[in-house]
Amino acid sequence: MLNVMSNNFKFFKGSDILSDVIALDVSKNHSYVVWYRNKQCMDEFDCLHNQVGFKHLKAVTDSADNPAVYFEATGVYSRPVVRFCQDNHLPYTQLNPLELHLRSENLRRVKTDQLDAHKIARSVTENNYRQTEIWSRDYRQLRELTRFCDQITNDIKLAQGKLYTALEQTFPEEEQLFKNKISKLALNVILLFPHPDSVHGLSRTKLKNKLMSQTDKRLSKTKGLKYAEKLITFAQISYPASDINSIQVQEVRYYCRQLIDLIKQKEILIDQMRMLSDPLPAYQIFISMPGIGPLSASQLLGELGDITRFDDANQLNAYIGIDLNRYQSGQYQRQDHINKRGNPHARALVYLIVRNMIRQQASAPNHIVDYYYRLKKRPIPKRDKVAIVACMNRTLKCLYAMTMAGTKYVYAYTDSKSNNVQE
């Protein structure tokens, strides 16, 4: 992920360094630490990621002159180091592993934790690296909630597939009962009647009363009777592969309960995300744009953070990895494509947002949709994904401009009627 920060943050380079460098090669549960002053190693040691290890590291940083901490971003393994720096108000920089590799690699390849820590320290003294910005608590929580919500969504998809594999053996016709196959109402009905034999012997009125009293959704008598009649019809024609006492029936009930719990948990997370997002000025700006709903806006804030920290929209594009990768050598020029080196979660989210804008184009005028169709109708039409990425670029530029100006989306202010299409 590109570490792009605003001009408010310090640069350190070569002889201009006024701080002692504390460089860490982060591994699981521990880091190898080196302390450099004026390009000379003052100390090195292995630091466990526990209270004893960080107490030793704290003693070193207290002894150093104006220390600055540097380490590679290594996912969850570097989180304890981040917290240590934030708790002790130490300036720190999470280095992009790819950028560090490109700036410090040489022809002789020898890799150990000890050598890697020294390599980081030496690279800091020779190159420009910006300090990592500390996100506010609301943005940090939004990011964690967004990632947690994505995990639950994936779990729902996985459990749904397993449920309907089992249901295919116990009561396959029941899938036709609802359009939304994973609504809480559908799951409650399947939980009550996982097999046609559980419907046999019940009259239409008894079925209706059971549906109305034992499902989460309040059903009217009319809808209750409608579902009861369909259940009786399906039960009469069904010939399941398993009987009512089979393990598959237990499996259907198990996945129904699991899905109901997952859906409830997701609803709780969505409410938390909206509560955190609502006070943020950018939230109201984001939802003013057609195709971006409250949930999408919350997720976008969680993935992008405060976008005013970027110097321009091009840095925002690089952050999510849709900046162009161009290669030319002699007479050969490779076709341009996006880098895909930024935040993959944000990139997927913006892609879905643009798709949603196109699907909902009838609800409100949107210059992004206009731009998409202009790209598709040019003398040489753009391929669909190429046009979508171009729209992603324009969407981010629009959101950035609106946020920096503090204004909501207004279609009349856009360039949607312009004939000049910018590549």
Quick: pLDDT tens for 285-298.
Answer: 999 999 999 999 99
- pLDDT 10s digits, 160-179: 999 999 999 999 999 888 88
- Domain spanning 141-274, CATH class: mainly alpha
Q: Do domains 11-134 and 141-274 have the same CATH topology?
A: no
pLDDT beyond 80 at 217 = no
Instruction: Give the range among 3-7, 102-106, 130-134, 343-347 with minimum mean pLDDT.
Output: 3-7
pLDDT beyond 70 at 417 = no
pLDDT beyond 70 at 406 = yes
- pLDDT 10s digits, 303-325: 999 999 998 999 899 899 887 76
Amino acid at 263: I
Mean of the per-residue pLDDT values for the chain?
Answer: 86
205, 277 contact by CB (below 8 A): no
Confidence (pLDDT) at 12: 42
Regarding predicted confidence, which is higher, 290 or 13? 290
Give the sheet arrangement for strand 21-27, strand by strand.
Answer: 40-48, 30-37, 21-27, 68-72, 92-95
- pLDDT 10s digits, 230-264: 999 999 999 999 999 999 999 999 999 999 999 99
- pLDDT 10s digits, 67-119: 999 999 888 999 999 999 999 999 999 988 877 877 777 655 667 878 889 99
Confidence (pLDDT) at 414: 46
Nearest CA to 65 out of 33, 19, 107, 104 is that of 19
Regarding predicted confidence, which is higher, 136 or 418? 136
- pLDDT 10s digits, 265-283: 999 999 999 999 999 999 9
Nearest CA to 25 out of 77, 72, 84 is that of 72
Q: Where would I find the beta strands (DSSP E) of 73-185? A: 92-95, 129-130
11-134: CATH architecture: 2-Layer Sandwich (3.30)
Domain boundaries, the chain: 11-134, 141-274, 281-413
291, 401 contact by CB (below 8 A): no
pLDDT beyond 80 at 153 = yes
- How confident is residue 332, by pLDDT bands cut at 50, 70 and 90? low
Confidence (pLDDT) at 326: 61
Instruction: Give the range among 51-65, 130-144, 344-358 with minimum mean pLDDT.
Output: 130-144
Confidence (pLDDT) at 11: 40
Regarding predicted confidence, which is higher, 5 or 298? 298
The pLDDT of 141-159, averaged and rounded, is 95
- How confident is residue 1, by pLDDT bands cut at 50, 70 and 90? very low
Instruction: Give the range among 57-61, 181-185, 336-340 with minimum mean pLDDT.
Output: 336-340
Confidence (pLDDT) at 3: 41
Residues 6+ apart with CB under 8 A from 58: 84, 88
Confidence (pLDDT) at 2: 39
Half-sphere exposure (Cβ direction) of 203: Cα atoms closer than 13 Å: 3
- pLDDT 10s digits, 185-205: 899 999 999 999 999 989 999
303, 150 contact by CB (below 8 A): no
Instruction: Give the range among 201-215, 297-311, 393-407 with minimum mean pLDDT.
Output: 201-215
- pLDDT 10s digits, 17-68: 468 999 999 999 999 999 999 888 999 999 999 999 999 999 999 999 999 9
Q: With b meaning 16 or more CB within 10 Å and e meaning fewer, what string describes 150-181?
A: bebeeebeebbeebbebbbbbbbbbeebbeeb
Residues 6+ apart with CB under 8 A from 88: 58, 61
